[in-house]
Amino acid sequence: MRIAIVYATREGQTRRIAEYLAGAFQAREVRVDLFDAKEAPDPVLEVYDAIVVAGSVHLGRHERELVGWVRRRQATLQRIPSAFISVSGSQAGVEMVTCTPEQRTRAREEVALVLKTFARQTGWTPHWIHPVAGALLYTKYNFLVRAIIKAISKRTGRSTDTSRDHEYTDWADLERFAGSIVSEVHGQ
Ligand SMILES: Cc1cc2nc3c(=O)[nH]c(=O)nc-3n(C[C@H](O)[C@H](O)[C@H](O)COP(=O)(O)O)c2cc1C
């Protein structure tokens, strides 16, 4: 089996997620090719048994280069089993047990909205859609971004401790996701 993973990232968490998935596929004897959408990769997609597209959310949108990459290949992606992984702070709010029910509902609505926007921008209906919680990298942000993200985090129930980074990604869930893709593609 052969799988392509195409990702876009701004602060690096989606690259870590893409690399983790690549390892999880390889452990299941899948051949994996990993591409950064920023490098405008143009592989022959038909050679793959499945394609995973992963991107992160900033200001309510996925990366421009990923939207463009998908839009240009939407018809091909529609024919090959394909997954979309959307990495966001909102999904952390959906999963965090410390969030109030209202915060969780709002987070769920935000995740649904960015997925809808991505679908409208690309015209692509993935076979699997998997929202994944990202990370707050306070130590890497500049002063302004740190202040904005802290204010958003206060409202949404995420950590406001800016002295360190906070990773919300559920790696065990990604491991299971990789397994389910491999078994579904095998079963076809
Ligand atoms: C400037 C900035 C804007 C962000 N905007 C959103 C947003 O609109 N919605 C959201 O759910 N998460 C938002 N996030 C959280 C990111 O999606 C999260 O940090 C993710 O892990 C980033 O992934 P990346 O490192 O692969 O770029 C934002 C983060 C930053 C730094």
Tens of pLDDT, residues 66-116: 999 999 999 999 999 999 999 999 999 999 999 999 999 999 999 999 999
Tens of pLDDT, residues 15-72: 999 999 999 999 999 999 999 999 999 999 999 999 999 999 999 999 999 999 999 9
Q: Residue 188 and residue 185: Cα distance in Å, rounded? A: 5
Interior/surface letters 162-185, b for 16+ CB within 10 angstroms, e for the rest: beebbebbeeeebeebbeebbeeb
Gap from CA of 58 to ligand 1 centroid (Å): 4
Tell the burial category of 161 from Cβ atoms under 10 Å away from its Cβ (0-12, 13-18, 19+). Answer: exposed
Ligand 1 atom closest to 93 (CA) = 11
- Least Cα distance to 9 among 50, 52, 58 occurs for 58
Element (H, E) at 61: strand 61-62
Tens of pLDDT, residues 132-160: 999 999 999 999 999 999 999 999 999 99
pLDDT > 70: percent of the chain? 99
Q: Is 37 in contact with 66 (CB distance < 8 Å)?
A: yes
Gap from CA of 60 to ligand 1 centroid (Å): 8
Q: Residue 148 and residue 52: Cα distance in Å, rounded? A: 31
Dihedral angle sign, alpha carbons of residues 173, 33, 166, 130: negative
Q: Angle CA(61)–CA(63)–CA(69) in degrees, nearest 5?
A: 120
Q: In terms of pTM, does the model score above 0.95? A: yes
Ligand 1 site-directed mutation target among 7, 17, 38, 56, most atoms within 8 Å of CB: 56
Q: Dihedral of the CA atoms 25, 26, 32, 38 (nearest 10)?
A: 70
